[in-house]
Structure 1
Amino acid sequence: MTALAGVRVLDLSGGIAGPVATMFLADFGADVIRVDGPAPDPQAANPGYAVWHRNKRSVVVDPAHHADLEWLAASVAGADVVVLGHGSELSDWGSAVARAGQENSHLITVRLPAYLDGHAPWGGGESHLLLAAVGGQAMRQASVCGGAIASMSPHLSYIHGLWAATCAVAALVERTVSSLGQTVTVTGVNALIGANIYSVSTSPNAPDPLTTVGPAGRHPTYRHFLCGDGKWMAIGALGPKFEERLLRALGLDSVIEDERIAGVTARMALPENLPWVRDLLESAFSSRTREEMLTLVEGIGIPCGPMNSREEWFDSEIVRAIGMHVSVEDPERGTVEMPGVPIVLTRTPGGVTRPAPSVGQHNGIAPWPAKAAQPDVQPRFVPGPLSGFRVLNMGTFVASPYAGLLLSELGAEVIKVEPITGDPFRVSGYTVNRGMRSVSIDLSTAAGQAVFHRLAETADIVMDAMRPGVMKKLNIDYEALSAVNPRIVTQSLSAYGQGGIQAHRPGVDMVIQAESGMMSAWGGSDDPVGNTIAINDVASAAMSALVALLGLYERQISGHGQRTWNSLAATSVFLQMEEMVRYEGRPSPVVGSADFRGAHPLRSYYEAQDGWLGIDVHTFDDNAAVERLQAAGVIGDGPVRDELAAAIAALTVADALRALAHAGIPSARARKVSEVLRDPELLEAEAFHIRPADDGTTFMQSGRYAAFSRTQRRGPMSPPGNGEHTRPLLAAIGVAPTEVDELIAERTVFAGGPVVHQLPISYR
Structure 2
Amino acid sequence: MDRTTPLPLQGVTVLDLSWHLAGPYCSMILADLGARVIKVERPGANGGYDPGGVARHQYKGEDVHYIALNRNKRSIILDLKDPEDHAAFLTMVGKSDVVFNNFRPGTMDRLGLGFDALRAANPSIIFASLSAFGNTGPERMRPGVDLVVQAESAGMSMTGEPGQPPVRAGLPIADLAGGMWTAIAILAALRDRDQNGGGAKEIDTSLFDSHLAMIPYFTAYHTINGFTPGPQGSGGHSPTYGAFRTSDDRYVALAVIDQKPWKLLCEALETPELLADERFANAKSRIDHTPELRALVQKVVEKRTADEWMQRFLELGVPAGRVNELGETLQKPQVKARGMLVDIEHVLGGTIQLLGTPVHMTGYQPTFVSPPLIGQHTDEVLKEFGIERANPTHAGADSEGAL
Structure 1 residues 693 and 487: CA distance shift in structure 2, 3 A: closer
Residue type of the partner of 1:724?
Q
Question: Does the aligned pair in 1 maintain the 2:30–2:37 contact within 8 Å?
Answer: yes
1:723 counterpart = 2:356: no
1:539 counterpart = 2:177: yes
Structure 1: 5+ residue runs without aligned partners? 1-380, 751-764
What is the DSSP-based 3-state SS (H/G/I as helix, E as strand, rest coil) of the residue aligned with 2:39? strand
Structure 1 residues 717 and 450: CA distance shift in structure 2, 3 A: same
Partner of 1:143: none
1:689, distance to aligned residue in structure 2 (A):
1.2
Structure 1 residues 723 and 661: CA distance shift in structure 2, 3 A: closer
TM (normalized to structure 1)?
A: 0.44
Structure 1 residues 478 and 606: CA distance shift in structure 2, 3 A: same
- Quote the Cα distance in structure 2 between the aligned partners of 1:672 and 1:748: 42
Residue type of the partner of 1:743?
N
- Quote the Cα distance in structure 1 between the aligned partners of 2:121 and 2:349: 47
Partner of 1:445: 82
- Quote the Cα distance in structure 2 between the aligned partners of 1:389 and 1:694: 24
Residue type of the partner of 2:49?
F
1:486, distance to aligned residue in structure 2 (A):
0.5
Which of residues 10, 18, 22 is equivalent to 1:395?
Answer: 18
Question: Does the aligned pair in 1 maintain the 2:252–2:322 contact within 8 Å?
Answer: yes
What is the DSSP-based 3-state SS (H/G/I as helix, E as strand, rest coil) of the residue aligned with 1:708? coil
1:744 counterpart = 2:396: no
Which of residues 163, 175, 191 is equivalent to 1:553?
Answer: 191
Question: Does the aligned pair in 2 maintain the 1:391–1:461 contact within 8 Å?
Answer: yes
**Which string of whole-angstrom CA distances, capped at 9 and with x for unpartnered residues, describes residues 473-525 of structure 1?**
11111211111110111100011111212111221101111122221222443
Structure 1 residues 402 and 633: CA distance shift in structure 2, 3 A: closer
Partner of 2:284: none
- Quote the Cα distance in structure 1 between the aligned partners of 2:262 and 2:387: 72
Q: What value does the CA root-mean-square deviation take over the aligned residues? A: 2.6
What is the DSSP-based 3-state SS (H/G/I as helix, E as strand, rest coil) of the residue aligned with 1:720? coil
1:589, distance to aligned residue in structure 2 (A):
4.3
Which of residues 449, 454, 460 is equivalent to 2:91?
Answer: 454
What is the DSSP-based 3-state SS (H/G/I as helix, E as strand, rest coil) of the residue aligned with 2:392? helix
- Quote the Cα distance in structure 2 between the aligned partners of 1:725 and 1:552: 26
1:717, distance to aligned residue in structure 2 (A):
2.9
Partner of 1:373: none
1:656, distance to aligned residue in structure 2 (A):
1.8
Question: Does the aligned pair in 2 maintain the 1:390–1:461 contact within 8 Å?
Answer: yes
What is the DSSP-based 3-state SS (H/G/I as helix, E as strand, rest coil) of the residue aligned with 1:411? coil
Partner of 2:55: none
Structure 1 residues 494 and 612: CA distance shift in structure 2, 3 A: same
Which of residues 381, 384, 388 is equivalent to 1:732?
Answer: 384
Structure 1 residues 647 and 446: CA distance shift in structure 2, 3 A: same
- Quote the Cα distance in structure 1 between the aligned partners of 2:239 and 2:380: 59
**Which string of whole-angstrom CA distances, capped at 9 and with x for unpartnered residues, describes residues 291-329 of structure 1?**
xxxxxxxxxxxxxxxxxxxxxxxxxxxxxxxxxxxxxxx
Structure 1 residues 587 and 749: CA distance shift in structure 2, 3 A: closer
Structure 1 residues 503 and 660: CA distance shift in structure 2, 3 A: same
Partner of 1:608: 246
1:552, distance to aligned residue in structure 2 (A):
1.1
Partner of 1:634: 270
Question: Does the aligned pair in 2 maintain the 1:461–1:489 contact within 8 Å?
Answer: yes
Residue type of the partner of 2:190?
L
Structure 2: 5+ residue runs without aligned partners? 51-62, 278-291, 398-403
Question: Does the aligned pair in 1 maintain the 2:10–2:34 contact within 8 Å?
Answer: yes
TM (normalized to structure 2)?
A: 0.82
1:450, distance to aligned residue in structure 2 (A):
0.5
1:425 counterpart = 2:49: yes
Structure 1 residues 467 and 447: CA distance shift in structure 2, 3 A: same
1:698, distance to aligned residue in structure 2 (A):
5.6
* Count of aligned residue pairs for this structure pair: 360
Partner of 1:412: 35
Question: Does the aligned pair in 1 maintain the 2:166–2:231 contact within 8 Å?
Answer: no
Partner of 2:108: 471
What is the DSSP-based 3-state SS (H/G/I as helix, E as strand, rest coil) of the residue aligned with 1:689? strand
1:641, distance to aligned residue in structure 2 (A):
1.8
Structure 1 residues 581 and 499: CA distance shift in structure 2, 3 A: same
Question: Does the aligned pair in 2 maintain the 1:590–1:599 contact within 8 Å?
Answer: no
What is the DSSP-based 3-state SS (H/G/I as helix, E as strand, rest coil) of the residue aligned with 1:514? helix
